[in-house]
Amino acid sequence: MFEANPFSTLSATVSPTLMQAFVVVMIALVALGTVFDMAHKQSAKYFFQQARKARGNRTVGSSERIGLAFKTVLIGWLAAGELCSTQRRLAHLLTMYGFLTYAISTAVMVFVYPTSDVETPALWPILWHAGALLVCAGGYWFWFFIRVDVSAEGHSPFRVVRADLFILSLLANTTMALIWSYLQSDGSNWSDFAFGLYLASALVLFGSVPWSKFSHMFYKPAAAFQKRVEDANGSRANLPPPADVPATLGSARTPPAHY
């Protein structure tokens, strides 16, 4: 199972061209959904307005900006340094690196090794399955144990709101990918049904960008970079100190419940 390319086996019944077209459509949905989300929420306009307003005590040069961008990528994105909780950071990293591995290996197997006529190196199916497993490990850990409304507010882990659309569709897609691969390798008659659910979950995942948190992965690095620039030019130092808040909401003696 782990060394078999499920897409090359699928080519016996489904044209590889159709699968390639499906992947291209999913990429287009992400791009169009992100643009629509930015236009609807005016995120880019707000970001650039804030950047122009952030005039500090000194000018940040080009070389320093490059260094800040490198730190943002290295610490903020690759290491999830913006997350304070170790558990949240670890779950986020498992999900993020799992999804990147899963997505890249999917594209390679669909476009480079689409049929059984071209032998797929075992590395790519292994990465595909491992990536899906990492997403499931990090995603289910987050969903059942780390979410703020579950761990801090005591809500049921089965309580679903619209903000959960991204993580649920991602977990559904990677879970169905593993189930489909297993049923296909086992020769089960249910493999076609599982494949249909796999495609449906992918359509929900990539087609719901304007209504889910998928596009946040593009916003957060830009916001983290701007925050570092404002720290460097001193503009954040000009902000008023935070007002005192009750101890129940988090203070110097009582850590905040939402972390």
Q: Which of 142-151, 174-183, 235-244 has the highest mean pLDDT?
A: 174-183
Question: Which pLDDT does position 181 carry in this prediction?
Answer: 93
What share of the chain has pLDDT > 90, as a percent?
30
Question: Which pLDDT does position 130 carry in this prediction?
Answer: 96
Question: Which pLDDT does position 255 carry in this prediction?
Answer: 43
Question: Which pLDDT does position 75 carry in this prediction?
Answer: 57
Half-sphere exposure of 24 (CA within 13 A, CB side): 7
pLDDT average, residue stretch 185-207 = 92
Question: Which pLDDT does position 89 carry in this prediction?
Answer: 80
d(CA 223, CA 207): 24
Report whether pLDDT(248) > 50.
no
Question: Which pLDDT does position 70 carry in this prediction?
Answer: 57
CB contact set of 209 (below 8 Å; sequence gap of 6+): 29, 30, 32, 33, 34, 36, 37, 215
Question: Which pLDDT does position 88 carry in this prediction?
Answer: 80
| Mean model confidence pLDDT for the chain | 75
